[in-house]
Amino acid sequence: MLPPDRNRYFIYIITACYFIVGLIGISNHEVWLDEAHHFLIAKESTSLSDLFERIKYEGHPQLWSILLFFITRFTDSVFYMQLLNVFIMTSVCFLFLKNSRFPIFLNVMILCGYFFIYEYLVISRSYSLLMLALTLSFIHLTGNPKAWKLYAALLFLSLTHIFGLIICTVICVLFFLNQFEKPGSKKYFFGLLIIINGIVVWSIKIPADHFLYHYDTDSIISYRRLSKTASMFAKGFLPLPDITDRLKWNSNFFTNTLKLPGIIAGLFAFLIPLYFFRKERKLLLFYFISTSLNLWFMHISPVIVGARYSGILFILFIYTSSFLLTKNSCRGASWYLIIICTVHTISGFIMYTADIRNNFSNSKRVASYIEEKHLQNKTIIVSNFSAAPGISCYLHKKVYYAEQHGPGSYCKWNTWPFLLNNDQLRDEIEKQLAPNDTLVLVLNQYYFHTDLHDTLVFKDPRIQFQKITSFNEAMVNNENYFLFYVFSIKL
C-alpha cells in the first residue's frame, strides 16, 4: 500500500494516462451506426421538444441525447461527441481509483480491461453516462454520505440507460423495504423515487410501429432466445474477441468458437461471485436481482446481444465488490478477480490496438472518397439505410435513404420494410434518376454477394450502372460498402 501522498499522485498519473489513451483511441476510431445515429438525431432537432419527439423510438432514457443536443448547437463535428465521452469516462476512472477498496494493481488491471479501455471509452454511447452514474451511486452507498447526494446519484442513474433504470429501481426497492425496519421518513423518499422510475419507464415505451416488433417473434422459451441470453455470461465476464475471425467487433471466442463449452465457462464465471457474496446477504440480494432483471430484459428484448449490454453484468460485480464488499471478502475473491481481470486486460489490448490498426467502420472512408471525387453534390442513394448514418455524419449532409423513400441522416425505426428487395430498390433508383443524369449508389452489401447485373435489372433499358470501388474488412460487419454509378444513356 502506498503512502497517502504517493497514492494521490499515482491516481492523478493513471487518470492522465487514461485520458491520453482515450484521446488516441477516438482519434483513430470511425463512428458507426449507433454513435452517428444519436449524434444526428440531436443535430437535426430544432428544440428539446422536437428532440423528445424524434427519440421516442429509442427505448432508453435519453440524457445522452440531451447532452448531444447542446453540443450540436455549436458544432456539427462528431469528434466533440467522442471527446465528451472520453471526459466522462476519465471522470469514472478518477472516481474509481479514489474510492475502490481493491489494491492499486488490481484497479489498474480493471481500467485496462475491455470495457473500461475500449467498449465504453472509445465507442461513444450513453454507457459512459451509465458508468459515471453507477460510480457515483456506489460511492454514496458506502459510509455515511449526505442523503441528498445519494438521491441525486440515483436519479441521475435512472435517466442514463434502461440498465441504469433497472439498477436504480432495485436499490430503491431494497432501501424502501429496509427502511420499514428503522424509524425515519427515508422510506417515503425511496417510494417517491420508485414512482418516478415508473413514470420514466412509461415515457420510454416503444411505439407499436417500431420495426423490431416484426423482427423477433420467437417464443419466450425458444432456443434462440435462451442461447442469446446464455451468451451474455461469456460476453460479460470473458470478453475475449474471436481471434479466428479477423477481429470483428462484438465477436467472442467463447461463444463463437467454443460454443456450448464457452457458454458454460461464462455461466460459471457469473455464478462464482455469488459465493463471495454469501456472507453479506444484502449484497447477494442486490447483485442477484439486478443481474437477473437485466438478463430478463435482454431475454424478452428483440435486440441482438452485444458486448456492451453484457458488460453490465461484469461492472455490477466489480462495483459491488470494490465499493461494498468487506476487505476480508475482497481478499477471498482476489484469485478470481486476477484471473478474470487478466482476460479483460488481454481483450482490451487486442481490441484497442485492432481499432487503431484497422477501420472500425468504412463510413468515413466512403465519405472521404465521395468528397475527393467531388460527388457530394450528386444524388447519393444508400441501402441498407441502417449503415448510412456514419456516411451522413462525415459528409455533413443528408443522403437519400431508399428504405425511407427520402433524404435522411439518422434512422427512423418505424421504417417497414426494413430491408428492400431488389425490385423495390430498383424502383427507388428509377424514381430518383433524372434523364441524362448520374447518381451514386452505395450498398452496404453486394446484394448478398451476387452479381449485381443479375439481381438488379432495370425496367428502363437506358439505365445502366458501373461499379466504382468498394471498402471492405471493417471491424463492424455491416459497414462494408460498394459504390456504383447509376446513369441513363441514349439508345
Tell me how far CA of residue 347 lies from CA of 31, 285, 453, 459, in angstroms. Answer: 20, 30, 42, 51
Q: What is the dihedral of CA 203, 205, 211, 216, to 10 degrees?
A: 150
Inter-residue contact 237 to 252 (CB < 8 Å): no
Alpha-carbon span 162 to 111, nearest angstrom? 24
From first to last of its 491 residues, the chain has per-residue pLDDT tens of: 444 555 788 999 999 999 999 999 999 999 999 999 999 999 999 999 999 999 988 888 889 999 999 999 999 999 999 999 999 999 999 999 999 988 889 999 999 999 999 999 999 999 999 999 999 999 988 866 677 788 888 889 988 998 998 898 888 877 767 665 555 555 556 666 666 666 666 566 777 777 777 776 778 888 888 888 889 999 999 999 988 777 789 899 988 887 888 888 888 888 888 888 877 888 888 999 999 999 998 888 888 888 999 999 999 999 998 886 666 656 666 788 899 999 999 999 999 999 999 999 999 999 999 999 999 999 999 988 788 999 999 999 999 998 888 999 999 888 887 788 888 888 888 888 888 889 999 998 644 445 565 566 777 778 888 889 999 889 998 899 999 999 887 65
Question: Cell digits for 419?
Answer: 430491408
Q: Which helix (H) or strand (E) holds 134?
A: helix 127-141
Coil, helix or strand at residue 277: coil
Q: What is the pLDDT of residue 425?
A: 87
Tell me how far CA of residue 433 lies from CA of 187, 421, 487, in angstroms. Answer: 65, 19, 7
Specify the residue for cell string 453540443.
Answer: 71
Specify the residue for cell string 456506489.
Answer: 138
Alpha-carbon span 345 to 112, nearest angstrom? 5
Alpha-carbon span 311 to 236, nearest angstrom? 4
Q: What is the pLDDT of residue 489?
A: 75
Phi, psi torsion values for 382, nearest 5 degrees: -120, 135
Q: What is the pLDDT of residue 122?
A: 97
Q: Between β-strands 399-401 and 481-488, what pairing exists: parallel, antiparallel or unpaired?
A: unpaired
Alpha-carbon span 431 to 242, nearest angstrom? 43
Question: Cell digits for 189?
Answer: 423518499
Among candidates 96, 59, 79, which has minimal Cα distance to 211?
Answer: 59
Q: Which helix (H) or strand (E) holds 234?
A: helix 223-237
Specify the residue for cell string 451474455.
Answer: 232
Helix axes 63-71, 79-99, angle to 10 degrees: 130
Beta pairing partners, 464: 487
Cα 300 from chain centre: 18
Inter-residue contact 362 to 474 (CB < 8 Å): yes
Give the end-to-end CA distance of the chain in Å, rounded to a whole number.
83
Q: Which helix (H) or strand (E) holds 319?
A: helix 307-319
Q: What is the pLDDT of residue 449?
A: 45
Q: Which helix (H) or strand (E) holds 443?
A: strand 438-443
Q: What is the dihedral of CA 385, 386, 389, 391, to 10 degrees?
A: -70
> 445-450 — which CB contacts under 8 Å span 24+ positions?
445/384, 445/478, 445/480, 445/482, 446/470, 446/482, 447/422
Q: What is the pLDDT of residue 190?
A: 62
